[in-house]
Amino acid sequence: MFRKAMLAAGLVLALAPVSQAAEPIEGSWKTASGETAVIAPCGKSFCVTLKTGKFAGRQIGRMDGKGNDYTGEITDPENDKTYAGSGAVTGNALKMKGCVLAVFCKAQTWTRL
């Protein structure tokens, strides 16, 4: 009887869904335009800073969140306009989205380096 109960418990554990850890947003990312951006903690947020290209050294965003989803602000360094932004991490991809009035949005996918 004990053995059957143990086998049944083992089967239940084997079939239970495995939760995967959230992917961190921190790290180096290749942007859609080919520059390298670094996302690192700054206070309670995460700062997005360009490390290569014409605007190297410039902070272009600040995101808050945890797990796979983040929100905050992102600045287009070409026109110096700041947009409501969001980021979603899936594996080695980070989908960044910036919106004006939550209606006009542009999205890019960055790749983890």
Most confident stretch, 18-32, 34-48, 87-101: 34-48
pLDDT cut 70: percent of the chain above it? 81
Average pLDDT (52-72) is 95
Listed by start position, the domains of the chain span 23-112
Is 52 exposed, middle or buried (CB count within 10 Å of its CB: 0-12, 13-18, 19+)? middle
3: amino acid identity, one letter: R
> In which band, very low, low, confident or very high, does the pLDDT at 110 lie, cut at 50, 70 and 90?
very high
- Which of these, 98, 22, 60, 36, lies nearest to 108 by C-alpha position? 98
Q: What φ, ψ does residue 68 adopt, rounded to 5°?
A: -105, -10
Average pLDDT (47-75) is 95
> In which band, very low, low, confident or very high, does the pLDDT at 103 lie, cut at 50, 70 and 90?
confident
> In which band, very low, low, confident or very high, does the pLDDT at 67 lie, cut at 50, 70 and 90?
confident
Average pLDDT (38-57) is 97
User: Which overall architecture, per CATH, does domain 23-112 show?
Assistant: Beta Barrel (2.40)
